[in-house]
Chain A
Amino acid sequence: MISNEVVRHLQAILPPHSLLLAREDLKPFETDGLTAFRNTPDVVALPETEEQVKQLLAICRETGTPVVFRGAGTGVSGGALPVDGAVLLAMTKFNRILDIDPLARTARVQPGVRNLAISEAAAAYGLYYAPDPSSQIACTIGGNVAENSGGVHCLKYGLTVHNVLSIRVLTIDGEEMVIGSEALDSPGYDLLALMTGSEGMLAVTLEISVKLLPKPERTQVLLAAFDDVEKAGSAVGAIISGGVLPAGLEMMDKLAIEAAEAYAGAGYPLDAMAILLVEVDGTQEEVSEDVMRVRDVLLASGATEVRTARDEAEQKKFWAGRKAAFPAVGRLAPDYYCMDGTIPRKALPAVLKRITELSAEYALPVANVFHAGDGNLHPLILYDANQPDAWEKAERLGADILELCVEHGGTITGEHGVGVEKINQMCVQFGAPELLAFHGVKACFDENALLNPGKAVPTLHRCAEYGAMHVAGGKLPFPELPRF
């Protein structure tokens, strides 16, 4: 529990509507987009000014009170899960777009601005912000920086880290720093890359400058249906090795198609075992040529049907279904557990096959939604949290899927972050020396481990415990493979 003394300090700097203390008000903050993990916070702070944030961090530093940061609470790795005795600091009131510079093609925004709001505001200048997580309608850019979020268009345009120019942060020591610059590179170590994806462990972000891209002259989306998931998986590799780099290359299997179609009415073929959505963009000529090439590859890979979107409205519908696919599976089961592994593209067919087998072994349906082009898998394990042991079973299946990814030379997270969810799998991914190095980096910024403690990087002790419980732990298959 947080002490009364800390609460009194907080009351002195925050107005009553910016400081929640009653259990009734706190409970709705107990979880983010990953509802299997819940912990009611002791205090929620909703500051409105940077001065309040500074004072709050000073109080936390002086009293040794941990702080957990939260954006819109759409994350799916439990990064914003409250920690006992900590202040939950929600940055949602910092929701202003400060400046758009159409000539430099940059936007300067506060951390609570929604990802999509940046593109909406930039649209007036024919520009947009490229990384587009599926939750882009709601997730905040501050959260995107913390998790190094990806999205449908990251295959061609990169993750958050490739699209942020600079950030202004505040450390727990009260030091304000601008990291990065308006130029594409800055002298010294690339600390911007370190901060991006640091999951609220190093500093709090106060302001972010992002790159904006000109909207392509033309965009076209192809939808291909397959009667076999593995064929769809093979087609993904074939498209890219055929020399086309699509702006987006996504895959959904039958269950995901069913759920997404029920929400979006996009016209997805409900009898297909899998569909691929392929977006190509560029000049008129490039797009015309790429559409034909992609179509040929898809048909050669065994697609039963290839359609191109009739117009922009249909393109939007194709994507609307895909982007809402996670929550839309809420129509099929009361709860879902979203995984986020990556694998080399060539391993896709084999991994898909094994996931189907695992799903049958655990008797839990798995809907598959992939950023297929980047080999980033999002198997959604469907379960019913009201049934006893259902979550535990889903979690074990999830762990097996992640370790399957590592086994094929992949990683345990593509874009959702580690949070609390994948912290045990960090022990599978990394050895003790690497983890110690991570702790060393953390200590440079936050010596007393007050920022988001217990997330993202496991202690060696935790890994030892996990290894003891877990049969596969410590005995990695393919030990010769490089881990990253």
Chain B
Amino acid sequence: MSVRRSYTAIVERNVLWDRDFATEPYEAAWASEAIFFVRALEVSPEFSGIARVQISADGIHWVDEGATMSLPTAKDAVTFCKVAHFGGWLRLYGELDDGASITVLVSLALKE
């Protein structure tokens, strides 16, 4: 019996987002499904924010995939977003309001 390959990459760890943000490009052409998990390690008071999934043909030029997710609003809270049929590269992108900040751990869970 063969099993489906899977891999989780920690694409950001203990990183502060306090204005425009983008996770590092991650290549995942081998995978057919993905979940971005965002865990808040710290958040500013009354924080709210949105992240958009972006895809790319080359890891350099990016376009919105259409999926969005609310970022967690409390310490240790987790939010997630599922994507499939995404081609070769994935990242999260977003813009935060002035004064809003969040320190994140972002996991990208991939599966064949």
Q: Do A and B come from one complex?
A: no
Chain A: residues with CB nearer than 8 A to chain B? none
B residues near A (Cβ < 8 Å) are none
